[in-house]
């Protein structure tokens, strides 16, 4: 299943792919990721397998580290995972990574979809020149935040619990959510909400429009809507 998703996203990221084709391919990939995670959860519950929460650390590459972490958090929350942003100062400057927690099918799906959305965002930034009078880095940071915000809205709109028709699905997913939360609390007992950032660039609206064009797949995407957290 994940190999099929990789192939769909690779086609969507091909420069020869039209925007309409890329949108359809991304939509299908996102729907498959979400359905696959739910199917695996139900199978584990039926066979009474132990709940094992996985985790992995995603190192982000400059530039726009915090904006990329924000996008990763949005994708993680939508696919039933939790994310903790970690920051540290090194000789070469700020280093940012994100610690993902979730069941393996969900975490794998998060990584795949996040990587594809990064490609779409990068292309969007290349297509839209920085307006005259705007500082380039500030405008692009606000553009990326706008892109991420629109993606979050699309995930929320795509969340349709009534389509989880199989009996017991909601209870199984709730049990998994509690297990993920417990794993995060065990690893990071002291976390704090990330401070609101004030962005000076004027690219938010353009980024939001680009994010609205990134079709995320519709049905069976479970948007958790949690606020981002930063580990001390």
Q: What's the rounded Cα separation, in Å, for the pair 69 and 86? A: 9
Order of strands, sheet of 191-193, starting from the edge strand that comes earlier in the sequence: 54-59, 93-102, 82-90, 229-231, 191-193
Element (DSSP H or E) covering residue 73:
helix 65-78
Q: What's the rounded Cα separation, in Å, for the pair 27 and 231? A: 33
Q: What is the dihedral of CA 211, 67, 8, 172, to 10 degrees?
A: -90
What confidence score (pLDDT) does residue 193 get? 67
What confidence score (pLDDT) does residue 203 get? 61
pLDDT > 70 in the chain, percent: 77
Give this prediction's pTM.
0.75
- With a cut of 50, say whether residue 218 has pLDDT above it: no
Max Cα-Cα span within the chain: 61
Three-state DSSP class for 211? helix
- The Cα-based distances of 172 to 76, 110, 219 in angstroms read 18, 20, 18
What confidence score (pLDDT) does residue 70 get? 92
Element (DSSP H or E) covering residue 182:
helix 169-187
Mean per-residue pLDDT for 113-124?
Answer: 87
Sort 105 into a burial class: Cβ within 10 Å, 0-12 / 13-18 / 19+.
buried
Split at pLDDT 50, 70, 90, the class of 211 is: low
For 60-64, 111-115, 123-127, which range has the lowest pLDDT when averaged over its residues? 123-127
- The Cα-based distances of 166 to 58, 112, 181 in angstroms read 33, 26, 24
Mean per-residue pLDDT for 121-126?
Answer: 84
- With a cut of 80, say whether residue 187 has pLDDT above it: yes
44-79: b or e for each residue (b if 16 or more CB lie within 10 Å)?
Answer: bbeeeeeeebbbeebebeeebbbbbbbbbbbbbbbb
Count of alpha carbons within 13 angstroms of residue 76, beta-carbon side = 29
What confidence score (pLDDT) does residue 209 get? 67
Task: Among 19-23, 203-207, 209-213, name the most confident range.
Answer: 19-23
What confidence score (pLDDT) does residue 95 get? 92
pLDDT tens for each residue of 64-108: 999 999 999 999 998 889 999 999 888 888 899 999 999 988 998
Split at pLDDT 50, 70, 90, the class of 215 is: very low
Q: What's the rounded Cα separation, in Å, for the pair 63 and 48? A: 44
- With a cut of 80, say whether residue 165 has pLDDT above it: no
Q: What's the rounded Cα separation, in Å, for the pair 215 and 187? A: 34
Which residues are CB-contacts of 89 (< 8 A; sequence separation ≥ 6)?
Answer: 95
């Amino acid at each position: 299943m994940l190999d099929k998703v990789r192939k769909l996203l690779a086609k969507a990221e091909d420069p020869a792919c039209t925007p309409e084709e890329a949108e359809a391919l991304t939509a299908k990939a996102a729907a498959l990721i979400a359905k696959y995670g739910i199917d695996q959860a139900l199978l584990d519950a039926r066979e009474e397998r132990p709940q094992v929460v996985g985790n992995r650390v995603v190192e982000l590459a400059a530039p726009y580290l915090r904006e990329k972490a924000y996008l990763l958090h949005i994708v993680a929350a939508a696919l039933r995972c939790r994310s903790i942003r970690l920051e540290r100062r090194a000789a070469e400057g700020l280093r940012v990574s994100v610690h993902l927690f979730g069941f393996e099918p969900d975490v794998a799906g998060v990584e795949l979809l996040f990587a594809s959305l990064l490609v779409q965002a990068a292309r969007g930034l290349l297509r839209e020149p920085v307006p005259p009078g705007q500082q380039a880095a500030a405008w692009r940071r606000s553009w990326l935040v706008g892109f991420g915000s629109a993606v979050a809205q699309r995930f929320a709109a795509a969340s349709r619990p009534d389509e989880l028709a199989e009996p017991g699905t909601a209870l199984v997913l709730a049990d998994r959510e509690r297990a993920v939360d417990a794993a995060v609390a065990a690893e990071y007992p002291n976390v704090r909400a990330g401070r609101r950032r004030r962005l000076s660039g004027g690219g938010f609206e353009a980024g939001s429009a680009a994010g609205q064009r990134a079709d995320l797949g519709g049905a069976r995407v479970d948007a958790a809507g949690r606020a981002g957290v930063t580990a001390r």
